[in-house]
A = this chain, B = another copy of it.
Amino acid sequence: MKNFADKLIERVNERQNPSIVGLDPTFANLPEPLKNEQKAKYGENFTAIGASLFEFNRRIIDAVAGTVPIVKPQIAFYEKYGLAGMRAFANTCKYARKRKLLVIGDVKRNDIGSTAQAYSEAYLGCADFWGGTKKKCYDLDAVTVNAYLGTDGVKPFVDDVKAHGKGIFVLVKTSNKSSGEFQDVVTADNRPNFMMMAANVAKWGESTDGKSGYSSVGAVVGATFPQQAVDIRQALPKAIFLVPGYGAQGGTAADVVPCFNKDGYGAVVNSSRGIIFAYQGDKFKAAPEEFDKAAANAALGMKEDIARALREANIHPWK
């Protein structure tokens, strides 16, 4: 069984690219022709919306699978369409794995021990089945976890990380504007809350290292806070950072550089809207029918953008 961190680095090497395509298919932004096709098939209902989400993702995945190593479906965009949405989520994850992409489920789950275990069983491990056996459900490669509840709520995930070669990314410093309200508050021992969280991530990651030296318990660190990233990088030399906030949220390629180690590893950078809805933007504008070509071009653009910023910082990725 391969360690998650090693798998991730292997895929990054194969593609010479540390980017993630975030699969956040806001229904309103999906191309009209694609939606109309599904509506004609199923009617004006949730089923047709779910089918639209999957069909959109399938074409995005086909378009970027040669360029990027990882996709990150944000589950909220599927949950909001109930069972039809969750069917699209399941089908998307399955299809992405078939296309040899790693799948990070952006679920930000969190709860007390027994409940955290149920979440971990859903996405990483396996659940109680008939006749005392166990069965896998979504079987993703990794998920994001919110650790406000402390070790109890993280340990079940770490157990599955170890048992099944999976990964987790714990929210440390998020990319949104108000992330500082809570995460930046300085504690009595003179460090911000996010640095305390980073220290916990190091502890939770013990005994999850791969041959690469990287840990399978990573951290979410927003591209929008490059100064804080410097401190977190120093505190967590072995953690892989999942970096949201590049592109549509305002983070630049230069902003993500502090998330990487000098060896060129240690970070994977996500872009969602900037890639999947590139057809609506200025730089990669395309007809709605060609949304996937626009996404392919945007993914290539992002790959080059990050590689350039790393080279300019004298970081020379990847083997």
* Residues of B contacting A218 in the complex (Cβ-Cβ under 8 angstroms): none
Give the copy number.
2
Whether A230 is near chain B, meaning CB under 8 Å from some CB there, is no
Residue interface mask A38-51, B partner, CB < 8 A = 1: 01000011101100
Whether A112 is near chain B, meaning CB under 8 Å from some CB there, is yes
Q: List 30 A-B contacts (CB under 8 A).
A: A24-B115, A26-B118, A26-B128, A45-B130, A48-B130, A49-B129, A74-B118, A76-B115, A80-B119, A80-B127, A81-B127, A81-B137, A82-B90, A82-B138, A112-B175, A112-B249, A146-B148, A147-B182, A148-B174, A149-B178, A149-B182, A150-B176, A150-B182, A152-B176, A152-B178, A153-B176, A182-B197, A185-B187, A185-B193, A187-B188
* Residues of B contacting A80 in the complex (Cβ-Cβ under 8 angstroms): 118-119, 121-122, 127, 137
Which one of B86, B137, B149, B182 contacts A196 once the chains associate, using CB atoms below 8 Å? B182
* Residues of B contacting A179 in the complex (Cβ-Cβ under 8 angstroms): 149-150, 152
Find the B residue at minimum CB distance from A184: B150
- Provided the pairs A81-B127, A109-B108 are in contact, do residues A196 and B185 lie with their beta carbons within 8 angstroms? yes
